[in-house]
Amino acid sequence: MNQSIILAKRPIGKPSLSDFKLVNEETPQIENGEILLKTSYISVDPYLRGRMSDAKSYIPPFQINQPISSGIIAEVVESKSEKFSKGDFVSGMLAWKEIQKSNGEGLMKVDPAKAPLSAYLGILGMTGLTAYLGLNEIGAPKKGESLVVSGAAGAVGSVVGQIGKIVGCRVIGIAGSDEKVEMLKSKFGFDDAINYNTTENMSKAIAAACPNGVDVYFDNVGGEISDGVLMNINKFARMVICGSISVYNETSMPVGPRVEPFLIKNSALMQGFIINNYAPKFGQAIAQLAIWLKEGKLTYTETVVEGFENTPQAFIDLFAGKNKGKMIVKI
C-alpha cells in the first residue's frame, strides 16, 4: 500500500495533528507518457498554512480530504515517458504521497552529483530563490548599508543575511533563541543578532544594533518585531515584505502602529514579495547561488525529520521555531 497525507479539516489558529490524516491507497499504474515517482524529500513551508484556510490568496486553497502538496524531490522508479528515465531525480510541486504518478509537467531534473538532493528544496530551490530575488529586486542593498533580517535563522533568512554580507552590508538578524543568535554570528557571519524572545523593547534593541538606522529590512515574520524595526528606518529605506509568520495563525488580524507616517517621512518603500512573480529570473538566480555555494561564500543548514508520517508534525514545528535553516522531511 501507498501512504498519502490529506487535509482532514481546516486548522483554526495553530495547526494540530488532527487537521491531517494519513490514508492508504493503491499504488498507481502508469500509462504512456507518464512516470512513477517515489518521494525522497518533502519541503514543509510556512506558506502552506495559508493554503490550509479557504481565504482568497495568490494561490488556491487545499481541498478537504485531498492530499497536501509542496516542493518535493522524488526518484523516477518507472518511466513510460521519453523525457525521464528510471533512476532520475526530479523536483516539483507534488502531493504528500509516498508513491505517485505524473505526466512530468512542471518537474525539473536535479542532479545528486552536483549538490545534495535536499539542497534543491532549500538554498538551490524555492527558499534560496526567495532570499536572492526578494533581497535584490526589492531590497536593492548597497555596500555600507544596514540590513535587518527577521526570521533570520530560517531557510530564507539565513541566506538573505549571507547575501547581505557578500554585498558589503552591516547585517543584523532577529531570531527566537540564544542558540540561533549564536549560529547567525558564528556560522552565517551576521554582524549582530537579537533574540526577540528575551528582548523587551525591539525598537530600542534595533536602535542599539543599528546606530546609523535601517536601510533595508527583509521581513519574514511581521507583527511586533517588524513594528520595532519600522521605528528605526532611514530615509529611502526599502522593506521587503516576504512573510508574516507571526500572524499566520491569528483568527483576527492584530493591529499595530500605522505604517503610513513612517513611510512618508522617510520616503520609504514597503513592498510585498511573492516568488512566483519572478519566474523569468530563476535560472540566473540559481546559477549565482550555486557559484557562491561552490566558492564557499554561502553555506546552509537543514533540520531533517525522518519518516513520511512525521510530515505534519514537521510542518507544525515551524511555528514553534524548532528548525534551524530549511525544515525538510526525509522519506
Number of shown-chain residues binding ligand NAP (CB under 6 A): 30
Residues 6+ apart with CB under 8 A from 52: 7, 10, 11, 15, 19, 61, 62, 68
319 binds ligand NAP (CB under 6 A): yes
Residue 126 class from Cβ within 10 Å (0-12 exposed, 13-18 middle, 19+ buried)? buried
User: Between residues 51 and 170, which has the closer beta carbon with respect to ligand NAP?
Assistant: 51
Q: Which of residues 89-108 bind ligand NAP (CB under 6 A)?
A: none
CB atoms within 10 A of CB 330: 18
Interface residue with ligand NAP among 92, 116, 213, 321 (CB under 6 A) is 321
User: Between residues 157 and 161, which has the closer beta carbon with respect to ligand NAP?
Assistant: 157
User: Between residues 104 and 139, which has the closer beta carbon with respect to ligand NAP?
Assistant: 139
- Strand 2-7 and strand 20-25: the pairing is antiparallel
- One-letter amino acid at 61 equals P
What single-letter DSSP state applies at residue 134? I
| Helical (H) or strand (E) element with 114 | none
What 3-state class would DSSP assign to 169?
A: coil
User: Between residues 270 and 275, which has the closer beta carbon with respect to ligand NAP?
Assistant: 275
User: Between residues 104 and 154, which has the closer beta carbon with respect to ligand NAP?
Assistant: 154
Interface residue with ligand NAP among 141, 161, 164, 176 (CB under 6 A) is 176
- Cα gap 314→48, rounded to integer Å: 12
Question: Up-side HSE of residue 22: CA atoms within 13 Å toward CB?
Answer: 12
Q: Which of residues 106-165 bind ligand NAP (CB under 6 A)?
A: 127, 130, 151, 153-157
Stretch that binds ligand NAP, among 4-12, 96-104, 160-168, 315-323 (CB under 6 A): 315-323
User: Between residues 181 and 210, which has the closer beta carbon with respect to ligand NAP?
Assistant: 181
- Cα gap 148→142, rounded to integer Å: 13
CB atoms within 10 A of CB 87: 9
User: Between residues 104 and 228, which has the closer beta carbon with respect to ligand NAP?
Assistant: 228
Per-residue contact string for residues 232-251; x = within reach of ligand NAP by CB under 6 A? ----------xx-xx-----
Q: Which of residues 213-232 bind ligand NAP (CB under 6 A)?
A: 220-221, 225
Q: Which of residues 55-84 bind ligand NAP (CB under 6 A)?
A: none
Per-residue contact string for residues 180-219; x = within reach of ligand NAP by CB under 6 A? x---------------------------------------
DSSP per position, 7-63: E-S---SS--GGGEEEEEEPPPPP-TT-EEEEEEEEE--TTHHHHHS-S--SSPPPP
Per-residue contact string for residues 8-47; x = within reach of ligand NAP by CB under 6 A? -------------------------------------xxx
Beta bridge partners of 170: 146
Question: Degrees (nearest 5) of the Cα angle 92, 98, 99?
Answer: 75
3-state DSSP of 141-165: CCCCCEEEEECCCEHHHHHHHHHHH
Binding site for ligand NAP (CB under 6 A): 45-47, 127, 130, 151, 153-157, 175-177, 180, 220-221, 225, 242-243, 245-246, 273-275, 318-319, 321, 323, 327
